[in-house]
Every structure is written in C-alpha cells, then in structure tokens.
Amino acid sequence: MKITIVGCWGGYPAPGGATSAYMLEKDDFTLLIDAGSGSLSKLQNMRHVMDLDAVILSHYHHDHVADIGVLQYAWLVQSYIHESNEILPIYGHTEDKEGFKSLTHKKTEGVAYEPSETLETGPFSITFLKTEHPVPCYGMRITDGRTTLVYTADTAFKEEWYEFAKDADFLIADCNFYEDQDGSSAGHMTSKEGAVIADKANVGKLILSHLPQYRDNNDLVKEAEQYFDGSIELAAEGLVWEKS
Ligand code: ZN
C-alpha cells in the first residue's frame, strides 16, 4: 500500500497548497480519498488524472469535495482525447441527497456506500465510522489485507476511535487545532486528541493533517509527542509512505 498526501489543509488551501485529499495505491489500483480544493492540480503532478480507478468521499464539505466538479470536467475532456468509455466511480454516503446527486456526471457515477457494511473496491476493503461533525461524515479504515490505514476525516474527539483505529499501520488524524484550543464544537480535533487516539489504538504511525493556517504547525508535532511515543509526522503535499 502506498499513501500519498495530495492535500492536507483544513478549511481552505494555503498558498500553492490543497485541502484534504489522499491517494492510496496498491498494485495497479489508485483510490483518491476526498478531493479538496487544489487537489486536482496537485494530483496531476503525481499521476495522470485518468489513472484514478475510484474516488471515495467522507462528507460533502467544500474542503473535501471542492475539486469533484473539475475532476468531472477533466475526465470528460480526457475521455475524448483518449477515446475512453470508462466511468469513474465516486463513492459517497447518501445522507446529503444533493451532494450525492452531484457525483454523477457524464464520465463519473455516484455510488452509494452503506456505512454499516464493508465496501470492497479494487484491492481495498473499507469500513466506516460516523464521526462527530456538523454534517454527516464518515471516517474510514482501509486495508489491503496486509497494511491498514485509518483516516478520521473530520471529527471531534470520541473514544470509539480507539477500537476503530486499533493496530492500524497508519492513522491520518484530523488535527485542525492546537492543544490549547477546543475544536469540539467545530467538529475537529487537537494535536493532543489525535495523539491520544494513536496511543490507545497502538498505531504504527500518526500523520497529523487537516492543518490550521496559523501559528507554527511544527508545534502540533511537539504537542502530540507528549501523548504518543510512536512515529509522528506532519502532513505535507507530496509526502509518500509505502508498506507492503
Ligand atoms: Zn468538514
């Protein structure tokens, strides 16, 4: 499994950056998890847009879906150029009817995931946890049978994450706030909360993402280190981890 950070900012992209988007690859299968603002531009520095095999969305906030529309245009244009009849599946939940409907376009198709069931796409098995967020949002546990990634998407802290993230190799955690802040009403976590989950769940590596655009984000790592002894990294566009 190869994980690439395509976008890591919360709310809006930093200059030259992108909001939430992560690329997961295994064998020849490429899955894009969320498609935030600026992510299509970043993605094209890494892979051809037609290399995508599927997209999955945690929820329909702009900083997670802003580039779905332009991704649909990109697939339309590239399908003409390459004379391709391929349709890109975009998995989303159906608790936002308008949001889900918008996933279907000429060369893309919205496909509903049922959060209580395991979704199989390519080599990946995906289970879901409903997060604490102002709108329906789902975190994901994604495994290829050997390596496991847990993505909290957007969430306030809750103890259910301990079990959901248990022994995962990688945990990408919402870290939109510093330790001295309270993100709970906004539906986000602090550096400390992500680190406590990483510790209790015994994950291999904690990746702090959905980052704030103020103060020094390196402080988020220093704060998290007080609560988790394992490996901690700050997300940045283009960072890659691979584990087989
Ligand atoms: Zn959100």
Q: Rounded to the nearest whole angstrom, what is the distance from the C-alpha of residue 60 to the centroid of ligand 1?
A: 7
- In 61-190, where does DSSP find H-type helix? 62-65, 68-81, 97-101, 160-164
CA–CA separation, 11 and 63 (whole Å): 5
Q: Rounded to the nearest whole angstrom, what is the distance from the C-alpha of residue 29 to the centroid of ligand 1?
A: 27
Count CA atoms within 13 Å of residue 172 on its CB side: 32
Q: Which two tokens stand for residue 53?
A: 């095999």
- Predicted local distance difference test score (pLDDT) of residue 244: 81
Q: Rounded to the nearest whole angstrom, what is the distance from the C-alpha of residue 232 to the centroid of ligand 1?
A: 23
The CA angle 110-114-115, to the nearest 5 degrees, is 120
Taking ligand 1, which is a single-atom ion, which protein residues have CB atoms under 5 Å away?
61, 154
Q: Taking a C-beta distance cutoff of 8 angstroms, is the pair 66, 102 a contact?
A: no
- Predicted local distance difference test score (pLDDT) of residue 31: 98
Q: Rounded to the nearest whole angstrom, what is the distance from the C-alpha of residue 105 to the centroid of ligand 1?
A: 23
Q: What is the 8-class DSSP label of residue 14?
A: P
Q: Provide the terminal-to-terminal Cα distance of the chain, rounded to the nearest Å.
A: 6
Q: Rounded to the nearest whole angstrom, what is the distance from the C-alpha of residue 205 to the centroid of ligand 1?
A: 23
What domains are there in the chain, each with its CATH number? 2-242 (3.60.15.10)
Q: Which residues of the chain register pLDDT less than 50?
A: none
Q: Rounded to the nearest whole angstrom, what is the distance from the C-alpha of residue 190 to the centroid of ligand 1?
A: 15
